[in-house]
Chain A
Amino acid sequence: MEFKQSGHLDPALTDSATRTLRTDKLTGRWLNTNPDTQGIVECVIKQDGELFTVDCFGAGPDGPIHWPTCRTEPLANLEEEAGQRTFALSATFEFSFMKAETYIRVNKGVLVIVLFASFQDGSKRSDYVNREFFYRPQ
């Protein structure tokens, strides 16, 4: 088996139990912990068979902007803090003027989205990285 680091040989990666981890810690509706965010206001994650769909809503001047739905495969997250073994997601949102690559994980009940935005429209805006936190509404 080929590898480029010892982590590639982790037996958990071929353990069937890893593929059947509970997904309910990740799925559902999440709201930004910052009510004044100018970024992502809401994220909805659903399981669709072996895939997940991610719907994000950006803060807009006239209400939330629904981003294109992303379908993505789950990633094993074997070494989360406190020894949690769970799933993470890598989701890319394509716009004509920008690409937003995100990784999404849950840590102690908080959804964390780290977003890497790259602009493709010559607007002189800098590509940037941003991190936001989300909670489950009651």
Chain B
Amino acid sequence: MEFAQVYDRVENESVATPLDISNLVGVWINSNPDTNGIARMEFAEVDGKPSVRVDAIGPDGLIDWGAATVKLCAASPASRSTAGFTCTYDFGFAETQLQAMIMKGLIVLAQVHKFKDDSGRMDYFVREYFAVVHDRY
């Protein structure tokens, strides 16, 4: 088995099964009410595939980015529990990669924005926190 670090040298005997999305399903709200980035994310399973729909803050209200298929990540090569995800939105003028870790009930979301137009904008990085909406208390 090939590996680039000892951490990756594990033998999974069981049949590979899809990661469970249940700890992601629902609506997640940005912890910063003054964000100028993503306001909310809603996760669901669509046609058997994990999917996210993003609403971002715009000058005149929320901007719907639409749905994107997410790629789930576990906490380790041997784990089958979801601990994060990645996905990409291609807007034509820019591409945004979302890379997330789930930590202590929060999604820690890194966003990499790369511009493809001639606007002279520098590519940039943002990291924000999201909490799931629930009705327990």
Contacts and interface: CB of A to CB of B under 8 A. Distances in A.
Which of B13, B94, B123, B127 has the most A CB atoms < 10 Å from its CB? B127
Contacts of B125: 75-77, 88, 90, 103, 105
A105 to B, nearest CB: 7
B12 to A, nearest CB: 4
Given A18-B122, A131-B101, A65 B84 contact: no
A130 B8 CA distance: 11
A124 B2 CA distance: 13
A19 B121 CA distance: 10
A126 B4 contact: no
Interface of B: 1-8, 10, 12-16, 19, 36-38, 56-59, 63, 65, 71-80, 83-84, 86, 89, 91-94, 96-97, 99, 101, 110, 112-113, 117, 119-127
B36 A126 contact: no
A129 B110 CA distance: 12
A45 to B, nearest CB: 15
Which of A2, A39, A129 has the most B CB atoms < 10 Å from its CB? A129
A96 interface: yes
Given A8-B94, A125-B77, A103 B124 contact: no
Contacts of A128: 73-77, 79, 83
A100 B38 contact: no
B58 A3 contact: yes
B4 A100 contact: yes
A128 B79 CA distance: 8
Contact of A95 (B2, B14, B56, B74): B2
B4 A5 contact: no
A60 interface: yes
5 contacts: A73-B123, A75-B112, A101-B99, A123-B12, A129-B83
A27 interface: no
Given A59-B5, A125-B78, A4 B36 contact: no
Given A9-B59, A126-B73, 11 more contacts: A5-B37, A6-B58, A39-B5, A65-B4, A105-B125, A117-B73, A123-B12, A124-B13, A125-B77, A129-B99, A130-B75
